[in-house]
Amino acid sequence: MQHIVLTGDRPTGPLHLGHYFGSLANRVALQDTYPMYVLIADYQVITDRDRPGDIQRNVTGLLLDYLAVGLDPAKVTIFRHSAIPELNQLMLPFLSLVSVAELSRNPTVKDEIAHSSQRAVNGLMFTYPVHQAADILFCKGTLVPVGRDQLPHVEMTRLVARRFNERYGEVFPEPEAMLSDGSLVKGLDGGKMSKSRGNAIPLSAGEDETAALIRKARTDSERLITFDEQARPEVANLLTLASLCLGRPPRELADEIGYGGAAALKRLVTDAVNDFLRPIRRRRREHTEEEVHAALAEGNRRARERAITTLDEVRAAMKF
Ligand code: ATP
Ligand code: MG
């Protein structure tokens, strides 16, 4: 099948190992085979915070991260929400296709509300999954490489596509999510590794910074290192991070450490992460800000062209 791939990230901070194993690795692998769109979801930043923060700096950081992991802007259309007003126009009919009850019971939205620092939950928090449906459907995306937290949103997109087609005639494909092996990478506190939860290892962090982050991770006082996700989740999580970076089973790493205790475990994890990220960090330094912004401008232009075509089709189907 000839897929069209779409994924994206919020410009809320530097990309981390969770992004790499949850999504970026798949993107890099797919870019040679299928047309791909990568979205910088700037409007989605204000779902769970009052202000967008230093959004320009974060956008530049994302672009550098993308190029560092090997995304090629000649093959991939990289664009940002705010450059494509047609996306917002698509969202309006889409919002009319889902019920308030469906918007309120989205488990990822509930989790994000629980972790939000906002005193009052805003309307965008409930409607952004529909915005995301517009992000995926504007380019008739069929394959969405994401982490596990995004599954409810992809389900919402399928629902929107199905209902639109039923109501107005066949316009949209029903996209599928593509989960990777590391589809939910945990952070140094045991929760989902997230840019905004202070528990992440950024791809762009320095080697000493990485060592300091891992040093702070919680473990236990047993000398013998074993891989037991139920009984020793903190140790298991560190072993899993190393396992992802080394491409070796976590049990084998535990056996190797044996009676070395937390210190040997952390040393192994730090080396594994730093070795793994070294070429990525090197490539990141090879790109200039001018270069990545030129790539974004070209991506915005291509994405907008595509969005205008789809919006025309949608309006025609709705007899507007
Ligand atoms: P924020 O804390 O600002 O929400 P985030 O770290 O959750 O940031 P997003 O920009 O929301 O990152 O997510 C971008 C993509 O990365 C999504 O496809 C998401 O599923 C994936 N992703 C994010 N965190 C992880 C993780 N810990 N493990 C696997 N995939 C992840
Ligand atoms: Mg998130």
Reported as a single tens digit per residue, the pLDDT across 44-90 is 999 988 899 999 999 999 999 999 999 999 999 999 999 999 999 99
Residue 122's Cβ-side half-sphere holds a number of Cα atoms within 13 Å equal to 13
pTM: 0.91
Distance CA 228, CA 1 (A): 40
Predicted ipTM > 0.90: yes
DSSP 202: B
Pocket residue to mutate for ligand 1, from 7, 21, 23, 128, most atoms within 8 A of Cβ: 23
> What token pair was written down for 71?
């995304």
Pocket residue to mutate for ligand 1, from 55, 148, 194, most atoms within 8 A of Cβ: 194
Homologous superfamily (CATH) of 205-284 is: Tyrosyl-Transfer RNA Synthetase (1.10.240.10)
Choose the most confident range, by mean pLDDT, from 10-24, 108-122, 261-275. Answer: 261-275
Q: Computed over its alpha carbons, how large is the radius of gyration of the chain?
A: 21
Residue 318: count other Cβ atoms within 10 Å of its Cβ.
Answer: 13
Q: What residues form DSSP beta bridges with 7?
A: 38
Residues of the chain with CATH 3.40.50.620: 5-184+289-317
**37 contact partners, CB below 8 Å, separation of at least 6:** 4, 5, 6, 7, 76, 77, 78, 79, 139, 141, 303
> What token pair was written down for 167?
């109501």
Ligand 1 atom, smallest distance to 112 CA = 4
The helix (run of H) or strand (run of E) holding residue 101 is helix 100-104
The CA-to-CA distance between both ends of the chain, in Å, stands at 33
Check whether 183 has a pLDDT greater than 80: no
Residue 239: count other Cβ atoms within 10 Å of its Cβ.
Answer: 27
Q: Is the Cβ–Cβ distance between 109 and 101 less than 8 Å?
A: no
For ligand 1, say whether the CB of 194 is within 6 Å of any of its atoms: yes
Distance CA 203, CA 196 (A): 15
Reported as a single tens digit per residue, the pLDDT across 89-104 is 999 999 999 999 999 9
The CATH number of 5-184+289-317 is: 3.40.50.620
3-state secondary structure of 65: helix
Ligand 1 atom, smallest distance to 146 CA = 18
Sign, CA torsion 28/54/308/298: negative
Nearest ligand to residue 194 Cα: 1
At 40, the pLDDT band (50, 70, 90 cuts) reads: very high
**296 contact partners, CB below 8 Å, separation of at least 6:** 40, 59, 63, 78, 79, 80
Check whether 1 has a pLDDT greater than 90: no
Integer CA distances (angstroms), 95 to 40, 54, 230, 237, in order: 21, 29, 41, 39
How many Å separate Cα 249 from the centre of its chain? 25
> Which residue, among 91, 120, 121, has the nearest Cα to 106 in the 3D structure?
121
Reported as a single tens digit per residue, the pLDDT across 126-145 is 999 999 999 999 999 999 98
Report CA(194)–ligand 2 centroid distance (Å): 6
Give the burial class of 240: count Cβ atoms within 10 A of its Cβ; 0-12 exposed, 13-18 middle, 19 or more buried. buried
Helix, strand counts (H, E) of the chain: 13, 5
Residues of the chain with CATH 1.10.240.10: 205-284
